[in-house]
């Protein structure tokens, strides 16, 4: 959360068409091949964070559910 996104990744997060996003990604890789590492790291982090979020939401929903409503 304290880490700033690389410029290439920040550009990809802006609203745009799929083709423009693909072009931006390919352009970023052409200009700076090390951007592939940034993209991979971002993908891994998003996967981990989505799993943590899903587990947290499951816990919250379970805590809010009244046990007497379960069949």
pTM for this predicted structure: 0.64
Nearest Cα neighbor of 39 from 65, 17, 21, 64 is: 21
Instruction: Evaluate whether 31 touches 24 at the Cβ level (below 8 Å).
Output: no
pLDDT digits (tens, 9 = 90+) for 21-68: 899 899 999 999 998 998 999 899 999 999 999 999 999 999 898 666
* Mean local confidence (pLDDT), 5-17: 83
Instruction: Tell me, yes or no, whether 48 lies in a domain.
Output: yes
Where in the sequence is the domain holding 44, given as residue range(s)?
7-65
Q: How many domains does the chain have?
A: 1
Instruction: Tell me, yes or no, whether 70 lies in a domain.
Output: no
pLDDT digits (tens, 9 = 90+) for 30-40: 999 998 998 99
| C-alpha span between 62 and 9 (Å, rounded) | 36
Instruction: Tell me, yes or no, whether 2 lies in a domain.
Output: no
């Amino acid at each position: 959360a304290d880490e700033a996104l690389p410029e290439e990744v920040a550009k990809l997060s802006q609203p745009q068409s799929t083709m423009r996003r693909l072009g931006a990604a390919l352009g970023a890789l052409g200009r700076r091949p090390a951007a592939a590492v940034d993209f991979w790291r971002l993908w891994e982090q998003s996967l981990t964070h989505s799993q943590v979020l899903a587990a947290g939401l499951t816990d919250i929903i379970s805590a809010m559910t009244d046990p007497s409503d379960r069949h």
